[in-house]
Structure 1
Amino acid sequence: KLLSFALLAFSAVAMIGLSSASHGIPYGNDYITQCPGRCYINPDGSTATSYNCPGGCGCISSRYNEGVYTGWGTCWRR
């Protein structure tokens, strides 16, 4: 009886932990997570060499929601 209670308690804690684990910010059918570092998007759309994102990450303008797609941004991974 004690073993079945322990198993039930463990299962409940595991389900709560898995359901509350965050995958990142929803992005269409995927999720995006923030990468380390900041980046800069030039007016021509290229990323400034000195402020480039790590491999596998892309730069999204900090003012993207305002319709500004250049300038300082944050590195994100999909």
Structure 2
Amino acid sequence: MEKVDFSGLKLKVIGAIVAISAIDLLKSFMDISGNMTELDEDKLMWKVIIHMTFVLSGLLFALMDKIVGDTKKH
């Protein structure tokens, strides 16, 4: 077994959150009917916005960890 540091654990948690959000979003897309109301469209739009926010924050956390890992230690 390999040891996981705080940074690795943080990325694993963010990845799990993104995966859960993606599954919920897929479920919402599968339930789309031909007669969607404006309220249903708004709910779907907000789910997509929230999912993309999770994805973007995960990418930014990964980028920050890479930058910190590549910097030279003094």
TM-score relative to the length of structure 2: 0.34
- Larger helix proportion of the pair: 2
**Structure showing greater Rg:** 1
TM-score relative to the length of structure 1: 0.32
